Every structure is written in structure tokens, then in C-alpha cells.
Amino acid sequence: MSPRRLWRRPLSGRAALGAEDGNALVEFVVLSAALLIPALYLVLTLGNVQAAVFAADTISRDAARIHAAEPDPERAAQRAAQHTAMVLEDHGLAGEDVVTLSCSEDPCATPGGTVLARVRIQVPVPGLGPILGQAGPVAVGASHAVQVDQHRAGL
């Protein structure tokens, strides 16, 4: 082989780039879609989990306060259930029997007693509902303890 055959004349700048016309746009679109869709899914999932955390915290705090302040246990349970349903609806969550209540005294509103409310909410994951069912694989919880006022009036 002669040295002339191995040597090639370099392509001009335009000719070298001409072979890849439009590829940058295609690569940008494909990579953007490949990265944007999982990022969007992650943001939606984290938003659902955070909403459930806020709801669990609110429900546990308020349920304990309602049971500590209301002398009638049936009325306290009714008010707490209504409040729980309202908070879950406000946060776009579904669930029944998410509150577990424990009291150091019977009834809960006995002066000096402690009321502990525990909340556990199953968080639905976007897009996986038909696969996993209505209850999601992520569960969040909160608990709140309230001491009933020692010097309550009206008892």
C-alpha cells in the first residue's frame, strides 16, 4: 500500500456536520421524555405522600383534642369521625377507620387522663392503583397525645 492511499483529505466543517443534521433535536426530545416522565412520576408520588403526612398529623392532633374536650364519648366519636372524613376529603385521600384511640382513663374526658390518637393512612401511588388495588404500598402515620385538663369545668 502506498502512503497516498491511507491518507484521506479531511472533510470540511460543513460536510462533516452534514451527516448529523437534525439528530440533536431528536436526541434532546428522547432524553427529555426519558428523564421528564420518571421525574414527574416521582413528584406526583411525593406530593401524595406529603399530603397524607399532613392529613395524618392534622387528624391525630384534632381527634385527640376532640376526645379530651368533649365530655360525651358518643358525641366525641361522632365529631372526630366527621372531622376525619373532612380532612381526608380535603387532602384527596380515601380511608375508613384510620384513627386508633386509647385513653388512660374511662371515659376519655376524665380530668387528669391522657388521650392518645394514632393515625395510619395508606397512600395510593399514581398509576399503580389497578395493579396494587385501592390501598397503596406506602403507609404514613402520626400520633398525638393530649392531657385532659385537671380543672375542667362542667363535669
Write the pLDDT tens digit of every residue in 73-116: 899 999 999 999 999 999 888 878 899 999 998 888 888 889 99
Q: What does the pLDDT read at residue 106?
A: 82
Mean pLDDT of the chain: 82
14-37 mean pLDDT: 76
Q: What does the pLDDT read at residue 144?
A: 95
Tell me which of 28 and 58 has the higher pLDDT.
Answer: 58
Q: What does the pLDDT read at residue 1?
A: 56
| Radius of gyration of the chain measured on its C-alpha atoms | 30
116-124 mean pLDDT: 91
Q: What does the pLDDT read at residue 29?
A: 87
45-65 mean pLDDT: 93
CA dist., res. 110 & res. 104, Å (int): 9
User: If pLDDT is split at 50, 70 and 90, which confidence band does 136 have?
Assistant: low
Q: Per-residue DSSP letters for the chain?
A: --HHHH--PPPPHHHHHHTTTTHHHHHHHHHHHHHHHHHHHHHHHHHHHHHHHHHHHHHHHHHHHHHHH-S-HHHHHHHHHHHHHHHHHHTT---SS-EEEEESSSSTT-TT-EEEEEEEEEEPPTT-HHHH-SS-SEEEEEEEEEEPPTT-S--
Tell me which of 25 and 100 has the higher pLDDT.
Answer: 100
